[in-house]
Amino acid sequence: MVTSGIDTVFAGSIPQLYQRYLVPLIFESYASDLAARVASRSPSRVLEMAAGTGVVTRRLASTLPTNVQIIATDLNRAMLDHAAAVGTARPVEWQQADAMQLPFADESFDAVVCQFGAMFFPDKSKAFAEARRVLRDGGTFLFNVWDRIEDNEFADDVTRSLATIFPDDPPRFLARSPHGYHDPSVVARDLAAAGFGPSPQIVTLTERSRAASPKVVAVAYCQGTPLRSEIEARDASRLVEATEAAASAIEKRFGPDSVDGKIQALVVAVDR
């Protein structure tokens, strides 16, 4: 998968819109699931990679015992700053860090967790190897990735709608990056290349994505993700038009009021 540099830019107003719209739309239920899976391992020290605006961090902080140390990292300073500003139920350590080169000692964590970040790693096996390096023997690497875009109704509709605005060069960020790493055999191959011996446990988890209106969905995706940068790179003056086209597509399929669509992800667990 070829990833454009624009795919990893969460800057400007994107972190605020991401937290306000996208987090409740698609991330919260999966954050609860991932935190529960971490808690079931009874870790004493947890590292989070690609923490974003902290949806999993907040869930970990409220789920794990207060004596469990949580270190939340992200490459993107703007996202991490916004996460810290939102805060957590108890203190956690926020640290800017590159998943490809983690600034932590070997075998220093009982669990490493990553929510919807692995898709953006330029070299997934290298990032996975770093997760393995910092895990203690018997520790667990837990992460999730989005399934095919066709199994995620809102994202699919938004992507299709933008092809009507930019027919010669449709923005494909959602299909290319968030939904571009969904083959279990590829995930297992990358984990094996990273040195993980046991076969990973990979389960498919289907949830529902709900919003008060089609416009909320459209703003979430078109303005709260790097899809915004991709739209603006084509024609910045058409961002509102693109958002309205996405809202119209959602409304046509789900109605004009509150909307409810399918979302689907893979949840991966592998022990060191």
Enter the pTM of the model. Answer: 0.92
| Radius of gyration of the chain, Cα coordinates, nearest whole angstrom | 18
| CA 95, chain centre distance (Å) | 18
The count of structural domains within the chain is 1
The whole-number pLDDT of residue 130 equals: 98
The model's confidence at residue 2, banded by pLDDT at 50, 70 and 90, is very low
CA angle 60, 65, 68 (to 5 degrees): 75
The whole-number pLDDT of residue 18 equals: 84
What percent of the chain clears pLDDT 90, i.e. is strictly above it?
Answer: 90
pLDDT at 237 over 80: yes
At 195, give phi and psi (nearest 5°): 105, 0
Could you report the per-residue pLDDT of 18-35, keeping only the tens digit for each? 888 999 999 999 999 999
| Domain housing 245 | 5-271
At 109, give phi and psi (nearest 5°): -135, 150
Could you report the per-residue pLDDT of 37-88, keeping only the tens digit for each? 999 999 999 999 999 999 999 999 999 999 999 999 999 998 899 999 999 9
The whole-number pLDDT of residue 80 equals: 94
Name the β-bridge partners of 202.
Answer: 268
The whole-number pLDDT of residue 185 equals: 97
Report the CATH number that the domain containing residue 212 is assigned in CATH: 3.40.50.150
CA distance 228 to 242: 9
Under 8 Å between Cβ of 57 and 81: no
The whole-number pLDDT of residue 3 equals: 41
The whole-number pLDDT of residue 8 equals: 44
The whole-number pLDDT of residue 13 equals: 60
Name the β-bridge partners of 71.
Answer: 47, 93
